[in-house]
Structure 1
Amino acid sequence: MPDQRTGHAWDLIVTPWHLDEHLSDFPVPAGAIEVTPPSLPGGPVAARMNRLHRAVADEVARVARPLVLSGDCPTSRAAVAAVQRRFPDLAVVWLDAHGDFNTPAISTSGYLGGMALAMLTGRTPGLFGDDLGLRPIPDARVVLADARDLDPAERDALAAGRVRRVPADPAALAAAVGDLGSVPVYLHLDIDVIDGAELPGARFPSGPGPTLAQIEECLSAICAVADVRAAYLACAWLPDRVGDRAARDTIARLTRALGADPAY
């Protein structure tokens, strides 16, 4: 279904991996573009991820309105870099149980998946090469919803910055997105923002939170007020659960809330 603002329907792109791990059971809707993982060299995980991200950026840049279905959050740097080629003044709306605002300097685990939003805002220089052409998103153009599960240093980093934090509530999100003004928006959602009881098999369940139905309302509210030019669903289930019927049904409901209608 074409969006009333852009005139474009969603172009579904599937990136079936988590960091540098290929997810062979990741569900691919009919008609979606599945990014073929290139051969990866040995060596650091970040270097391997960067090669994957280059392949994603190339695919995203070819379509008019990308909706990326992925197994992790860091691949968002590829999607954003590609969308910035058309819309350099992009804003980010990020729904996640976690802040993804750790950096190599403050992370207690070193887990790269917990640094994705920090990557987009320019807080991880030197972690990857700069060949994607990613330009840091200013904090003032970022809305972070929920983020109920934060590390102490991550909480401090968010408090010291200008990222706007709101609850995962349709009215609060609509108001915050409205305050961004008439800028193109990249909309990102990690499925773990949903109440953990509704997500069997999630990699990082975060306990009580908004229901799936409430998150669907949030997505609809954002799309009603924002010029959403790209969207991304981080489908972070465990490798042996991402292909389950429950996971596919959740992905389908979220994509429909965005105005797409995937068929599995």
Structure 2
Amino acid sequence: MAVPVRLLSAAWDSGVPGARMGAGPTALLRAGAADRLRARGSRVTEVVLGPSSDWQAELRTAFELQRAVARSAAAAHAGGELPLLLSGDCHLTLGMVAALQARGARVGLLWLDAHGDLNTPDVDPGAYLDGQGLAMVLGRCWRAATGTVPGSAPLPEEQVVLVGARDLDPPELAALDGSALRWLRPEQARDPAAVDDALAALAPRVDVVHLHVDLDVYDPSIAPANGYAAPDGLSAADVLRIARRAAAAAPLGSATLASYDPSFDPAGRLRDTALELLEVVAGLAG
């Protein structure tokens, strides 16, 4: 029987609704994301998330959205639903991980991304909050703010695999050199043996896995996911294979699809690739 799904959407990018990558969740919904899940037999509850206050500013809004994601994902788990998040911002995955942590689970995280998202405020001259998303999950920055997210605690680095990252700032490379997380470069992510080795090391440490897919992990030859797309990305088949192998190694507890800017994909090629992935992920959790 297909697992019931709570399809969360957070159509925000850097504190701004509906622009750039904030347009992605709405575009995926309009393209039939929920209907495709229903067609495969899932009962789908759609939840549109927003900040809790009328006044928006990037920092305030970011952490309000993380809290909203965590609460809604936790409600999904409590109701026997699979939470799937369509997000403009990558850092909202912190709320998805927190909802699993709130259950007392040892959470594994597969973070598929063209970038490391390991910057911190003291090394990021662009002050781009979403480039700090994985660093937040690991407790490397913004701990007072992320500590307000229900269930959130810094995720042990041994429980994280960064997949497909290839466009990293020097401070991110330095952070990786001193980190216990595992990094599969694109050529390794394309190698089933290397993926299986990483998952075999991860599986004994975790009870459940969250799959995070920044759509710019895909090669831009499909279509650029956003203005930060980088060459030497993964194919659609690569990402599907990684998702399937991850679900075979440990139970899949939730997933995020993030950072899709439909203005870079006029033919809808990457949109359709993302929708296929969403369907497959829902099936893997069933």
Q: TM-score, with normalisation over the residues of structure 2?
A: 0.80
1:99 equivalent to 2:119? Answer no
1:119 equivalent to 2:143? Answer no
Q: Which moved more, 1:8-17 or 1:239-248?
A: 239-248
Q: Specify the code of the residue in structure 2 equivalent to 1:196.
A: P
d(CA) in 2 for partners of 1:82, 1:56: 8
Which is richer in helix? 2
C-alpha displacement of 1:201: 5.3
1:13 equivalent to 2:15? Answer no
2:170 pairs with one of 152, 161, 166: 152
Q: Deviations over 1:117-164 (max 9, x none)?
A: 100000013562522141000111111112111101110011111111
Alignment of 1:170-189 (within 5 A): 170-180=192-202, 181=204, 182-189=206-213
C-alpha displacement of 1:196: 1.4
Q: Which moved more, 1:67-76 or 1:29-38?
A: 29-38
Which position in structure 1 is the counterpart of 2:220? 196
Q: Specify the code of the residue in structure 1 equivalent to 2:14.
A: L
Q: Deviations over 1:35-65 (max 9, x none)?
A: 2324545464111211222222221111132
d(CA) in 2 for partners of 1:116, 1:41: 24
C-alpha displacement of 1:245: 3.1
Cα distance 1:171–1:16, how it changes in 2: closer, same or farther (>3 A)? farther
* SS at structure 2 position matched to 1:110: coil
Alignment RMSD, CA only? Answer: 2.4
Cα distance 1:43–1:12, how it changes in 2: closer, same or farther (>3 A)? closer
Q: Decide whether the 8 Å contact of 2:114 with 2:230 is kept in 1.
A: yes
C-alpha displacement of 1:96: 0.9
d(CA) in 1 for partners of 2:268, 2:243: 22
d(CA) in 2 for partners of 1:69, 1:243: 19
Q: Specify the code of the residue in structure 2 equivalent to 1:175.
A: D
Cα distance 1:57–1:243, how it changes in 2: closer, same or farther (>3 A)? farther
d(CA) in 1 for partners of 2:267, 2:55: 31
Cα distance 1:159–1:201, how it changes in 2: closer, same or farther (>3 A)? closer
C-alpha displacement of 1:237: 2.6
Identity, in percent, stands at 33
Unaligned runs of 5+ in 2: 35-43
Alignment of 1:78-97 (within 5 A): 78-97=95-114
* SS at structure 2 position matched to 1:13: strand
d(CA) in 2 for partners of 1:39, 1:9: 27
C-alpha displacement of 1:172: 2.0
Cα distance 1:144–1:38, how it changes in 2: closer, same or farther (>3 A)? closer
Cα distance 1:87–1:173, how it changes in 2: closer, same or farther (>3 A)? farther
Which position in structure 2 is the counterpart of 1:210? 234
C-alpha displacement of 1:32: 4.5
Which position in structure 2 is the counterpart of 1:36? 49
Q: TM-score, with normalisation over the residues of structure 1?
A: 0.86
d(CA) in 2 for partners of 1:82, 1:259: 18
Which position in structure 2 is the counterpart of 1:253? 276
* SS at structure 1 position matched to 2:28: coil
Which position in structure 2 is the counterpart of 1:224? 248
Q: Decide whether the 8 Å contact of 1:87 with 1:184 is kept in 2.
A: no
d(CA) in 1 for partners of 2:237, 2:277: 9
How many residue pairs were aligned? Answer: 255
d(CA) in 1 for partners of 2:218, 2:49: 29
Cα distance 1:244–1:21, how it changes in 2: closer, same or farther (>3 A)? farther
Q: Deviations over 1:186-207 (max 9, x none)?
A: 1111111111121245231111
Q: Decide whether the 8 Å contact of 1:97 with 1:148 is kept in 2.
A: yes
Which position in structure 2 is the counterpart of 1:5? none
C-alpha displacement of 1:238: 2.5
Q: Deviations over 1:72-93 (max 9, x none)?
A: 2011111111221114421211
1:238 equivalent to 2:261? Answer yes
